[in-house]
Amino acid sequence: MALQCGIVGLPNVGKSTLFNCLSNAKAQAANFPFCTIEPNVGVITVPDDRLKTLTELVNPQRVVPNTIEIVDIAGLVKGASKGEGLGNQFLGNIRTTNAIIHVLRCFDDGNVIHVDGSVDPIRDKEIIDTELQLKDLDTVVKRIQKVEKMAKTGGDKDAKKTYEILSVIKTHLESGKSARTAPIQEEDLEFIEELSLLTSKPVLYVCNVDEASVNTGNAYVERVKEAVKEENASVLVISAQIESEIAQLEDYEERQMFLDDLGLTESGVNKLIRAAYDLLDLATYFTAGVQEVRAWTIEKGYTAPQAAGVIHTDFEKGFIRAEVIKFADFVSFGSEAAVKEAGKLAVEGKTYIVQDGDIMHFRFNV
């Protein structure tokens, strides 16, 4: 399941530095605008202590963690929706992602230039929001022109419904608000899904702060939280500079000592990866055997056959049943055999909704 989060932000806010910390795919991090020209894609391992616990219990030959893709997208400037700077490229790259990680500069440093000459995360956010909204408005207007005649003169119910939904979104965008906050029923989103509206994507705001603010935040962070409180979006505080220093430490104990000295329990990168995973509304189930312990990515709400299909389409087509062990039971009893002996292994059918952390075996016939 190759799902992508795109890192966006104005030039020089620290997004490429964060990307470098997230991935072995190195983006050029330099103190000038547009240092990232082509989108860099990194395949990022999702940290999960449960996988480590299962590995210790099962002692498999191979361990395969969950991954997501992070895309570092070229910096955007005013006028991008009209093709200014790298606008068309930026907007095209972000359209293919599933969610947005929006990095905002929330630190003062005279040695790091700002494309607009001063530090103001709310202004920066609004610049990108406006460009995305203008591009979406252009997309929506063009689609309205296509369906309006059918909606008003024909008997096409779908065209009429699509026209109504697009009209609501058009008004919403014209008022300077993003499509994700438009008053649209969730079941109606399928009528506009193919448009891949930029501002309909879920977003995580990452406040890039200095070392002194990494634990407590600062006035910039508080302004961001206030500005996004109606967007149903999360805000994460990270210091890209600290993460860059941590990334240079190869020894695990050295990294932990470094974190301890700063009063941190874990790196911001780990928090960011998990937040990105949650942003995509994903869940994890496991398969565990002596040959392999593996984490599998599914969308929340998947049925057992759908989850089986992530392994192989034949598993879904020929699904018979799923044998399910709860993670807590596996840890408590220490092995699959002990779980079975205790009567804690459940046999589930096609309607079972897979829960995050389930350990599963599938029975199928094709």
Longest CA–CA span in the chain (Å) reads 70
- Tell me how far apart the alpha carbons of residues 6 and 334 are, in angstroms, rounded to a whole number: 39
| pLDDT for the residue 165 | 92
Domain with CATH 3.10.20.30 in the chain: 301-364
| pLDDT for the residue 75 | 59
| pLDDT for the residue 149 | 80
| pLDDT for the residue 38 | 53
In Å, how far are 19, 140, 157, 158, 334 from 153, measured between CA atoms?
Answer: 51, 20, 11, 13, 67
* Domain covering 301-364, topology: Ubiquitin-like (UB roll) (3.10.20)
| pLDDT for the residue 203 | 93
In whole angstroms, what separates CA 313 from the centre of its chain? 25
| pLDDT for the residue 24 | 54
| pLDDT for the residue 170 | 94
Please enumerate in sequence order all residues whose Cβ is within 8 A of that of 302, keeping only pairs 6 or more positions apart, or say none. 283, 310, 353, 354
Extract the annotated binding site: 12-17
- Tell me how far apart the alpha carbons of residues 131 and 200 are, in angstroms, rounded to a whole number: 14
CATH placement of domain 131-199? 1.10.150.300
210 burial (CB, 10 Å; 0-12 / 13-18 / 19+) is middle
Extract the annotated binding site for ATP: 12-17
- Tell me how far apart the alpha carbons of residues 36 and 13 are, in angstroms, rounded to a whole number: 12
Contact yes or no for 254/23 (Cβ under 8 A): no
| pLDDT for the residue 283 | 93
| pLDDT for the residue 338 | 96
Domain with CATH 1.10.150.300 in the chain: 131-199
Please enumerate in sequence order all residues whose Cβ is within 8 A of that of 256, keeping only pairs 6 or more positions apart, or say none. none
- Tell me how far apart the alpha carbons of residues 211 and 135 are, in angstroms, rounded to a whole number: 36
Superfamily of domain 4-47+66-119+202-279: P-loop containing nucleotide triphosphate hydrolases (3.40.50.300)
In Å, how far are 18, 57, 112, 133 from 74, measured between CA atoms?
Answer: 14, 44, 18, 18
pLDDT by 10-residue block (mean), the chain, 366 residues: 80 84 55 48 84 95 89 66 54 83 89 74 92 90 87 76 91 92 86 87 93 91 93 89 85 85 85 85 94 95 96 95 97 95 96 97 91
- Tell me how far apart the alpha carbons of residues 58 and 127 are, in angstroms, rounded to a whole number: 51
Domain with CATH 3.40.50.300 in the chain: 4-47+66-119+202-279
- Tell me how far apart the alpha carbons of residues 315 and 303 are, in angstroms, rounded to a whole number: 13
Contact yes or no for 308/263 (Cβ under 8 A): no
Contact yes or no for 296/286 (Cβ under 8 A): yes
> What is the residue type of 83?
G
